[in-house]
Copies of this chain bind each other. A is one copy, B any other.
Amino acid sequence: MNGLMTARELEAALRELGAQRYHNLHPFHRLLHGGKLDRGQVQAWALNRYCYQSAIPRKDASLIARTDDPDLRRLWRQRLIDHDGEAEGEGGIARWLALTNGLGLDRDYVISKRGALAATRFAVEAYVHFVREQSLLEAVASSLTELFSTTIISERVSGMLAGYSFIDRETLAYFNARLTQAPRDADFALEYVKREARSPEQQQAVLGALAFKCDVLWAQLDALYHAYVEPGHIPPGAFRPGETVR
């Protein structure tokens, strides 16, 4: 049914999938970027998203651990540097903690992940396990949501600066770095899958990996929306705005 696509057709199919399923389309993002959430809801987003951010180096190290190709290992290593930095207080995770800190959340509470939604943890760990357990090609392909992230980041930064008095440019430093990192990483991963997916089955696997990753992102926003936008649905044990320290 699905024949072999040219590299260009594969890229078009990947971009089409992103246009349909990337989480910029999710109603929670429309609220977040439109300045429609209160501080507690933005706190819930930031502390849940910390679970995702902080798992990324484990995901990337799992990928590096799977390949005999020094080129791929070297290139992918940059992602570890981007997220963990060269020293404590540097890198993407530290910048994310600057965001949660700017939102008035206790640093240790955020790092403990105690207040995160179970659904967030399940989605994030599904991503880590996917990269460990599926093929290397699918592991690389699952990073391709970065193809679509620069638009959402630009919208987010301008929307949040305009919409929330409790957010300033410094708090959002994480996203500035991602504006250059994400396209560089995405270009490499895109070239990789276009080159390495040589059969229709492999091409479908690549598309499936991107769909899976879109689900990982979408499910996190569904859980946030259910718990923090619709009243009365915060699950037992999860963060309750106003009840935490600091």
Residues of A within 8 A of B (CB): 20-21, 27, 117-119, 121-123, 125-126, 129, 211-212, 214-216, 218-219, 222-223, 225-227, 230, 233, 235-237
Contact = CB atoms under 8 A, between A and B. Distances in A.
Which 5 interchain pairs have the tightest Cβ spacing? A118-B215, A226-B226, A122-B122, A122-B126, A119-B219
Contacts of A216: 118, 122
Contacts of A222: 119, 223, 226-227, 233, 235
Q: How many copies of this chain does the complex contain? A: 2
Contacts of A125: 122, 126, 129
Interface of A is mostly: helix
Contact of A215 (B211, B225, B226, B235): B235
A123 B121 CA distance: 9
A121 B227 CA distance: 19
A21 B118 CA distance: 13
A144 to B, nearest CB: 16
B230 A215 contact: no
A118 B123 CA distance: 8
